[in-house]
A and B are shown apart, each in its own frame.
Chain A
Amino acid sequence: MLTPSVLLFLVFFMSPLAYLLAFSVFRFDQVELVRPAFVTDNYAAIFSDSYGRQIVLRTVRVGAVTTVITLILGYVLAHRLLYARGLERTALTAIVLSPLVISEVILSYGWFALLAPNSGLLPAVSQTLRLAPIRLLNTEAAIVIGLTQSTLVYMTLTLQAALLAIDPVHLRAAAALGASPFQVFRRITLPLSLPGILSGCLLVFALSCSSFAVPQFLGGNQVPMLSTYIYNLDSTMVNYPRAAAASVVLLILVGITLYGFASIVERLRDRMGITLERQA
Chain B
Amino acid sequence: MIGRLASYLVAAIIMAPVAVTIGTSLTRTSYLTFPPQGLSFGWYTAAARDRDMARALVVSIEVAAVAAAIATPMAVGASLSLARYRFGGKGALNSLLLGPLMIPAISYAIGMLFFLTAIHQIGTLSGLIAGHVIVTFPFALRAVASSLSAVQPELERGAAILGASPLVVFRRITMPLIAPGLMASALFCFLVSLNTFTVTVFIAGPGIQTLPLLIFIRTQYLVSPDLSAMATLVLIGSWAMIVVLEKSFGLRNLMRQV
Of B4-12, B43-51, B157-165, B178-186, the one contacting chain A is B4-12
Contact A95 B105 (CB under 8 A): no
Question: Contact partner of B34 among A12, A108, A114, CB < 8 A?
Answer: A114
Q: Is A37 part of the binding interface, using a Cβ–Cβ cutoff of 8 Å?
A: no
Tell me whether A250 and B16 are in contact in the complex, defined as CB-CB below 8 angstroms, given that A1-B80, A2-B81 are known contacts.
Answer: no
A163 at the interface (CB under 8 A from B): no
- A148: chain B residues within 8 A (beta carbon): 13
The residues of A that contact B93 with a CB separation of less than 8 Å are 2, 6
A137 to B62, CA, bound (A): 34
- Could you tell me which residues of chain B, from 92 to 139, have a CB within 8 Å of some CB in chain A? 93, 96-97, 99-100, 102-108, 110-116, 118, 130-131, 133-134, 137
Does B10 contact A258, Cβ atoms closer than 8 Å?
A: no
**Shortest beta-carbon distance from B83 to chain A in Å:** 11
**Most A-side CB within 10 Å, residue of B93, B191, B201:** B201
Say yes or no: is B198 at the interface (Cβ < 8 Å to chain A): yes
- Residue on B with the closest CB to A3? B77
Q: Is A244 an interface residue (CB 8 A)?
A: yes
Closest chain A CB from B208 CB (angstroms): 16
A180 to chain B, nearest CB (A): 16
State which residues 263-280 of A face B: CB under 8 Å. Answer: 278-280
A123 to chain B, nearest CB (A): 10
The majority secondary structure among interface residues of chain A is helix
CB 8 Å contact bits of A220-245 with B (1 = contact, 0 = none): 00000001001100100000100110
Residue B147 at the chain A interface, CB threshold 8 Å? no
Q: Which of A92, A255, A279 contacts B11 (CB 8 A)?
A: A92
Interface residues of A in 98-113 (CB under 8 A from B): 98-113
Proximity bits, A15-35, B CB within 8 Å = 1, else 0: 111111011000000000000
Check: A97 CB closer than 8 A to any chain B CB: yes
Q: Is the CB of B195 within 8 A of A247?
A: no
Q: Does any Cβ of B come within 8 Å of A96's Cβ?
A: yes
B91 within 8 A of A: no
Interface residue tally for chain B (C-beta within 8 Å): 79
Task: Report the separation of the CA atoms of residues A105 and B15 in the bound assembly, to the nearest whole angstrom.
Answer: 15
Q: Are A103 and B16 in contact (CB under 8 A)?
A: no
Is B257 located at the chain interface by the 8 A CB criterion? yes
Task: Tell whether A149 is near chain B: CB-to-CB under 8 Å.
Answer: yes
Residues in B whose Cβ lies below 8 Å from that of A56:
none
Closest 10 CB pairs of A and B: A110-B17, A210-B104, A16-B111, A20-B111, A80-B7, A103-B195, A1-B77, A2-B81, A105-B212, A19-B114
Give the chain A neighbours of B3 by CB distance below 8 A.
76, 79-80
On whether the beta carbons of B134 and A9 are closer than 8 Å, the reply is: yes
Question: Which residues of A are at the interface with B, using a C-beta cutoff of 8 A?
Answer: 1-2, 4-6, 8-9, 12-20, 22-23, 73, 76-77, 79-81, 91-92, 95-114, 116, 118-121, 146, 148-149, 152, 154, 157, 203, 209-210, 212-213, 216-217, 227, 230-231, 234, 240, 243-244, 247-248, 250-251, 254-255, 258, 278-280
Query: Complex formed: what's the CA distance from A261 to B216 in Å?
Result: 34
Considering the chains assembled together, what is the distance between the CA atoms of A58 and B80 in angstroms? 44
Q: Which listed residue (B7, B21, B96, B216) contacts A113, Cβ 8 A?
A: B21
* Most chain A beta-carbon contacts within 10 A, residue among B10, B35, B223, B234: B10
User: Secondary structure of the B side of the interface?
Assistant: helix
What is the count of residue pairs linking A and B with beta-carbon distances less than 8 angstroms?
A: 240
The chain A residue with its CB closest to the CB of B108 is A16
**B107 lies within 8 A of A13 (CB):** no
- Asked whether A114 lies within 8 Å of B231 as measured between CB atoms, the reply is no
22 CB contacts below 8 A, A to B, read: A1-B78, A1-B80, A5-B137, A8-B74, A9-B137, A16-B114, A19-B115, A20-B114, A91-B11, A95-B15, A96-B11, A101-B238, A103-B234, A104-B197, A110-B17, A113-B34, A113-B228, A146-B17, A217-B216, A227-B106, A231-B106, A254-B104
B102 touches A213 (CB 8 A): no
Residues from chain B with a CB closer than 8 A to the CB of A19 are: 111, 114-115, 118
**A209 CB to nearest B CB, Å:** 8
B155 within 8 Å of A by Cβ? no
Question: A77 CA to B8 CA in the complex, in Å?
Answer: 8
Are the CB atoms of A154 and B20 closer together than 8 Å?
no
Q: Is B14 an interface residue (CB 8 A)?
A: yes
Q: In the complex the two chains form, what is the Cα distance from A260 to B105 in whole Å?
A: 20
Q: A149–B20 contact, CB under 8 A?
A: no
Is B31 an interface position by the 8 A CB rule?
A: yes
CA of A210 to CA of B105 in the docked complex: distance in angstroms? 7
